[in-house]
């Protein structure tokens, strides 16, 4: 053990708090690096308050669970899997000897299903609780109940670096819960904001390298540096960018993220005498400590999994970190001595950021968690003892998913037999449902690989390196209707090559990704082993129809429809727009030498993967697609179809036609024209097309728009005249009148428009319009100039500077309340200046304008300023 760590100051209090035999609840607050994660389990074990039973330490992150186990095993002179072990999804390093077990929160949740009373466990330690992951929230709630109802001897310890303890103490129960605080040692950290200037070229990583270089050149090197980047890709780019710099000679540059090998991860965290630069994800924010860091460089971003309850879409996107996270990160520079933090964003940006990251319970798809609760005997999830209850919208959506896949009963929401089975699988219930159907059909191997493909990295790199490299297209065969078909063949090829690095690399495949897929697929397979109700042989390769039907059972909300054969654009269930990946089997794109492979065009498809396109609104990229047929949808979801009748404007015929729409949920599958429509409806639709600028009427010209703008300008400038503004509704009404009796564009395009507009301003008020918002303005000197009225802007005149000499003041309308904007033009009609203050122009910038123009236009008169 590391006896020098600050946490040991509270060790006696901790042991004292844990000594009672019943109802032990402890909250520990101590800054990052004080020894919570590595020491507390050892203090408990060596202090003999847990007997020979297990101490379970919950971690939000897999990487942290693995590394902490390695560290603690090493401190105790053992190996991982002995006294100290870890368990994360798809990876179990524990044995019967294991007494300190680091586990991810989600995994413990699943475990509590089978063994509700947590036999053999004496203490559960919730680490990093402030991160408020959904699984952690629920696990704590369940443990409280277990302690109250079944296991009073179970000890519960909640730890955090930045706990807002008050709410937690209320939740755990005030007098019963002991609160232990260790202030630890921290040094001041100087914060500097170094935003990337827009004009500098290069990615964020180049900015990191540049900012670090400048810092080191000016201040010299002291201690290590820690750079925060959002993900593996950005980390790799940053390492490369730093290594290219001459200032970085003498540094070791080390990446740290979950996809690295254990030895690479160790290398980043290990103590080092020579200066190193660790480029890490937010795992180094609080979970892992790197000693001796004096400089933190923070890109200010993180990959966050989110779930949008309105759209029902899970996203993993890069987001700006909160101010609380930024402070945590900065604090990493002040653990051993005063430090510095370079924030690569501006102070203004910082002030606008959210103060802390919202808890996952407000962000994620709850279907998985709700099913776990139900399987654990908690039927009424709405009245569950939440630390902080989820939004009812996300709760209802999660429940809807469960009903849809048959995990709970319609209406009663009771968990079904299928639901119980699904809750035991290490995947979300949607995937579970799909795998279950596959297993019943005897083709689990194929679907296990398909599901693994959606959960892991791609087998083929994004870019071909050499012409000889294979791509997915090389594995396509005539008649394929699903991207999973070539993908499975490619996977089998990689497996035949035994995922050998050289052999796979030569074929252009990524052996690491192949091994990962293999491992995950095996997990899926093993979840169904030893089930006598299922066929023993699961190796059958399903045909296209079977693939489509089985996918549909879990992913009805991934159904999309192509707009036409000529485009990859799709509509997706849930009102989303999508773009099908070009390389997909179902895209119908010609591939060299593969022309015969094109399947006949089918509009309906199901996307195995939907990724939100960053920066665009409600657009998703659809990949791993499979063609499906409407009949299958009808068979599986007969209640989700409806027929809607109405009228539409048909762009091709340029007419309003009656139509009947067939919809699957909100997705229009078919539209049929069915004759003509009531005239009022036709006029309304034509008017809307015209109002939105998709149809133009010959006589609705600029003069009409000016007339409208004049009315609106006056209505706003002189409200006492009570002119009604000519708004969008008025426009629609006027257009409807113009279009009345018509069904097509041909009939309306030459129609007169003034008759429908004139009455808007009563005749006896026209003089007011002409007086206060006239079409032309008379300048002193007698020249008349056209006024341009504009939407939501002041009226403007454009005048040659020569014509303005002698015009001292800005002309005004509306009894002097509305000065015109004057655009002053040079003799060549180029604008010189826009002003609402002519007097100011003459007294100010005119002198400079004159000096410039006089040289160019010597023949013109240029009166002296003043």
Residues that bind ligand ADP (CB under 6 A): 2, 5, 30, 32-39, 67, 71, 269-271, 289, 291
Tokens representing 148 are 């109250």
Place of tokens 């904001």: 193
In this structure, are residues 457 and 601 in contact, taking their beta carbons and an 8 Å threshold? no
Partner from Mg ion, ligand ADP, none binding residue 50, C-beta < 5-8 Å depending on class: none
Distances (CA, A) of 264 to 92, 261, 275: 20, 5, 17
Spatial separation of the C-alpha atoms in residues 791 and 764, rounded to whole Å: 25
CB of 163 to Mg ion, least distance (A): 12
CB of 270 to ligand ADP, least distance (A): 6
The neighbour count for residue 245, using CB atoms within 10 Å, is 16
CB of 265 to ligand ADP, least distance (A): 9
Spatial separation of the C-alpha atoms in residues 75 and 111, rounded to whole Å: 28
Tokens representing 514 are 């192949």
Which CB, 37 or 523, lies closer to Mg ion?
37
Partner from ligand ADP, Mg ion, none binding residue 297, C-beta < 5-8 Å depending on class: none
Which CB, 25 or 36, lies closer to Mg ion?
36
Beta bridge partners of 609: 623
**Among 35-43, 131-139, 832-840, 845-853, the segment contacting Mg ion (CB under 5 A):** 35-43
Spatial separation of the C-alpha atoms in residues 67 and 93, rounded to whole Å: 12
CB of 64 to Mg ion, least distance (A): 7
Partner from ligand ADP, Mg ion, none binding residue 815, C-beta < 5-8 Å depending on class: none
In this structure, are residues 430 and 402 in contact, taking their beta carbons and an 8 Å threshold? no
Distances (CA, A) of 621 to 451, 507, 582, 665: 18, 27, 10, 20
- Axis-axis angle for helices 484-496, 511-526 (nearest 10): 100
Partner from Mg ion, ligand ADP, none binding residue 289, C-beta < 5-8 Å depending on class: ligand ADP
Which CB, 32 or 401, lies closer to ligand ADP?
32
CB of 39 to Mg ion, least distance (A): 10
CB of 157 to ligand ADP, least distance (A): 13
Partner from Mg ion, ligand ADP, none binding residue 66, C-beta < 5-8 Å depending on class: none
Tokens representing 565 are 């054969």
Spatial separation of the C-alpha atoms in residues 405 and 381, rounded to whole Å: 18
Q: Note whether 37 binds Mg ion by CB under 5 A.
A: yes
Which CB, 129 or 215, lies closer to Mg ion?
129
CB of 18 to ligand ADP, least distance (A): 18
| CA torsion through residues 46, 52, 57, 63, sign | positive
Partner from ligand ADP, Mg ion, none binding residue 94, C-beta < 5-8 Å depending on class: none
What DSSP element (H or E) covers 812?
strand 812-813
**Among 33-41, 427-435, 459-467, 649-657, the segment contacting Mg ion (CB under 5 A):** 33-41
Spatial separation of the C-alpha atoms in residues 247 and 255, rounded to whole Å: 18
CB of 123 to Mg ion, least distance (A): 16
Spatial separation of the C-alpha atoms in residues 169 and 836, rounded to whole Å: 62
Which CB, 40 or 313, lies closer to Mg ion?
40
Partner from Mg ion, ligand ADP, none binding residue 372, C-beta < 5-8 Å depending on class: none
Q: Starting at the edge strand that comes first in sequence, how are the strands of the sheet with 224-228 ordered?
A: 189-193, 339-343, 293-298, 224-228, 276-280, 252-256
* Sequence-distant (≥ 6) Cβ neighbours of residue 367 within 8 angstroms: 397, 398, 399, 401, 402, 428, 429, 430
Distances (CA, A) of 265 to 273, 284, 421, 520, 658: 18, 11, 36, 21, 65
**Among 31-39, 367-375, 459-467, 806-814, the segment contacting Mg ion (CB under 5 A):** 31-39
Which CB, 64 or 761, lies closer to Mg ion?
64
Spatial separation of the C-alpha atoms in residues 458 and 277, rounded to whole Å: 29
Which CB, 112 or 278, lies closer to ligand ADP?
278
CB of 98 to ligand ADP, least distance (A): 19
CB of 37 to ligand ADP, least distance (A): 3
Which CB, 31 or 309, lies closer to Mg ion?
31
Which CB, 59 or 147, lies closer to ligand ADP?
59
In this structure, are residues 804 and 824 in contact, taking their beta carbons and an 8 Å threshold? yes
* Sequence-distant (≥ 6) Cβ neighbours of residue 787 within 8 angstroms: 774, 775, 776, 777, 795, 796, 797, 820
Which CB, 30 or 585, lies closer to ligand ADP?
30
Which CB, 36 or 99, lies closer to Mg ion?
36
Partner from ligand ADP, Mg ion, none binding residue 291, C-beta < 5-8 Å depending on class: ligand ADP
3-state SS, residue 840: helix
Which CB, 163 or 607, lies closer to Mg ion?
163
Spatial separation of the C-alpha atoms in residues 716 and 772, rounded to whole Å: 12
Spatial separation of the C-alpha atoms in residues 764 and 754, rounded to whole Å: 17
The neighbour count for residue 504, using CB atoms within 10 Å, is 22
CB of 36 to Mg ion, least distance (A): 5
Q: CA angle, 319 as apex, 317 and 323 as ends, to 5°?
A: 155
CB of 333 to Mg ion, least distance (A): 17
Which CB, 336 or 454, lies closer to ligand ADP?
336
Partner from ligand ADP, Mg ion, none binding residue 67, C-beta < 5-8 Å depending on class: ligand ADP
Which CB, 74 or 90, lies closer to ligand ADP?
74
3-state SS, one letter per residue, for 35-95: CHHHHHHHHHHHCCCCCCCEEEEEECCHHHHHHHHHHHHHHCCCCECCCEEEEECCEEECC
Partner from ligand ADP, Mg ion, none binding residue 471, C-beta < 5-8 Å depending on class: none
* 5-9-14-16 Cα dihedral, nearest 10 degrees: 150
Classify residue 727 by its DSSP letter: -
Residue with nearest beta carbon to Mg ion: 37
Classify residue 660 by its DSSP letter: E
Which CB, 100 or 509, lies closer to ligand ADP?
100
Q: Note whether 182 binds Mg ion by CB under 5 A.
A: no
Partner from Mg ion, ligand ADP, none binding residue 5, C-beta < 5-8 Å depending on class: ligand ADP
Partner from ligand ADP, Mg ion, none binding residue 574, C-beta < 5-8 Å depending on class: none
Partner from Mg ion, ligand ADP, none binding residue 34, C-beta < 5-8 Å depending on class: ligand ADP
Side-chain half-sphere exposure of 600, counting CA atoms within 13 A: 1
Partner from Mg ion, ligand ADP, none binding residue 39, C-beta < 5-8 Å depending on class: ligand ADP
CB of 248 to Mg ion, least distance (A): 30
Partner from ligand ADP, Mg ion, none binding residue 35, C-beta < 5-8 Å depending on class: ligand ADP
CB of 71 to Mg ion, least distance (A): 10
CB of 428 to ligand ADP, least distance (A): 30
The residues of the shown chain that bind Mg ion, judged by CB under 5 A, are 36-37
């Amino acid at each position: 053990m590391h006896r020098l760590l600050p946490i040991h100051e509270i060790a006696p209090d901790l042991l004292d708090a844990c000594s009672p035999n019943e109802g032990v609840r402890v909250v520990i607050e101590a800054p990052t690096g004080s020894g919570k994660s590595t020491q507390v389990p050892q203090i408990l074990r060596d202090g003999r308050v847990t007997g020979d039973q297990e101490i379970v330490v919950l971690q939000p992150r897999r990487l942290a669970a693995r590394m902490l186990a390695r560290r603690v095993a090493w401190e105790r002179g053992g190996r991982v899997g002995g006294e100290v072990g870890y368990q994360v999804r798809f990876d179990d390093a524990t044995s019967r000897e294991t007494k300190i077990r680091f586990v991810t929160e989600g995994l413990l949740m699943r475990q509590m299903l089978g063994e509700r009373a947590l036999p053999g466990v004496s203490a559960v330690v919730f680490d990093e609780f402030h991160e408020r992951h959904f699984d952690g929230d629920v696990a704590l709630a369940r443990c409280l109940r277990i302690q109250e109802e079944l296991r009073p001897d179970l000890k519960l310890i909640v730890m955090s670096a930045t706990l807002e303890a008050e709410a937690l103490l209320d939740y755990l129960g005030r007098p019963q819960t002991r609160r232990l605080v260790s202030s630890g040692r921290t040094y001041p950290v100087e914060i500097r904001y170094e935003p990337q200037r827009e004009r500098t070229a290069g990615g964020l990583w180049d900015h990191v390298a540049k900012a670090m270089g400048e810092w080191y050149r000016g201040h010299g090197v002291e201690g290590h540096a820690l750079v925060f980047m959002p993900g593996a890709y950005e980390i790799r780019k940053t390492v490369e960018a730093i290594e290219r710099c001459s200032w970085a000679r003498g540094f070791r540059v080390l990446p740290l993220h979950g996809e690295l090998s254990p030895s690479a991860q160790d290398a980043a965290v290990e103590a080092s005498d020579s200066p190193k630069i660790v480029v890490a994800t937010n795992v180094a924010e609080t979970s892992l400590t790197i000693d001796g860091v004096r400089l933190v460089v923070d890109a200010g971003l993180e990959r966050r999994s989110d779930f949008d309850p309105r759209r029902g879409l899970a996203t993993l996107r890069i987001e700006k970190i909160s101010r609380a996270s930024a402070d945590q990160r900065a604090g990493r520079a002040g653990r051993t001595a005063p430090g510095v933090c370079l924030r690569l964003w501006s102070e203004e940006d910082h002030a606008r950021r959210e103060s802390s990251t919202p808890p996952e319970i407000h962000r994620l798809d709850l279907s998985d968690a709700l099913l776990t609760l139900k399987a654990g005997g908690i039927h009424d999830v709405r009245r569950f003892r939440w630390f902080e209850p989820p939004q009812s919208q996300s709760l209802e959506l999660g429940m809807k998913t469960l009903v849809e896949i048959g995990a709970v009963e319609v209406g009663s929401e009771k968990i079904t037999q299928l639901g119980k089975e699904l809750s035991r699988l290490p995947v979300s219930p949607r995937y579970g449902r799909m795998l279950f159907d596959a297993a019943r059909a005897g083709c689990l191997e194929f679907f296990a690989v398909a599901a693994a493909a959606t959960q892991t990295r791609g087998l083929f790199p994004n870019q071909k390196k050499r012409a000889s490299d294979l791509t997915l297209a090389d594995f396509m065969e005539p008649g394929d209707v699903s991207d999973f078909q070539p993908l499975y063949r490619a996977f089998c090829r990689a497996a035949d090559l035994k995922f050998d690095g050289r052999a796979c690399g030569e074929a252009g495949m990524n052996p690491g990704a192949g091994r990962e897929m293999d491992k995950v697929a095996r997990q899926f397979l093993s979840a169904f082993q030893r089930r006598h109700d299922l066929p023993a042989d699961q190796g059958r390769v399903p045909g296209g129809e079977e693939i489509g039907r089985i996918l549909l059972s879990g992913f009805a909300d991934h159904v999309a429809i192509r707009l036409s054969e000529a485009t990859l654009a799709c509509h997706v269930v849930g009102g989303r727009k999508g773009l099908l990946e070009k390389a997909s089997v179902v895209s119908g794109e010609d591939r060299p030498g593969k022309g015969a492979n094109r399947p006949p065009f089918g509009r309906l498809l199901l996307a195995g993967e939907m990724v939100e396109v960053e920066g665009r609104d409600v657009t998703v990229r659809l990949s791993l697609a499979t063609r499906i047929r409407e009949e299958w949808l009808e068979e599986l979801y007969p209640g989700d179809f409806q027929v809607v009748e109405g009228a539409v404007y048909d762009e091709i015929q340029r007419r309003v036609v009656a139509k009947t729409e067939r919809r699957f949920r909100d997705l229009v599958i078919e539209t049929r024209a069915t004759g003509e429509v009531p005239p009022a409806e036709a006029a309304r639709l034509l008017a809307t097309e015209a109002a939105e600028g998709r149809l133009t009427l010959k006589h609705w010209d600029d003069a009409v728009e000016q007339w409208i703008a004049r009315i609106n300008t006056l209505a706003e400038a002189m409200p006492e005249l009570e002119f009604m503004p000519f708004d969008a509704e008025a426009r629609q009404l006027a257009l409807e009148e113009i279009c009345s009796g018509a069904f097509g564009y041909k009939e309306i395009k030459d129609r007169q428009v003034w008759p429908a507009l004139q009455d808007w301003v009563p005749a006896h008020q026209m003089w007011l319009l002409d007086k206060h918002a006239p079409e032309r303005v008379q300048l002193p000197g007698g020249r008349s100039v056209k006024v341009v009225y504009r939407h939501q802007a002041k009226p403007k005149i454009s005048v040659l500077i020569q014509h303005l000499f002698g015009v001292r003041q800005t002309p005004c309308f509306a009894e002097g309340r509305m000065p015109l904007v004057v655009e002053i033009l040079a003799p060549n009609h180029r604008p010189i200046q826009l002003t609402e203050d002519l007097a100011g122009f003459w007294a100010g910038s005119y002198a400079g304008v004159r000096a410039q123009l006089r040289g160019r236009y010597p023949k013109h008169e240029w009166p002296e300023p003043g």
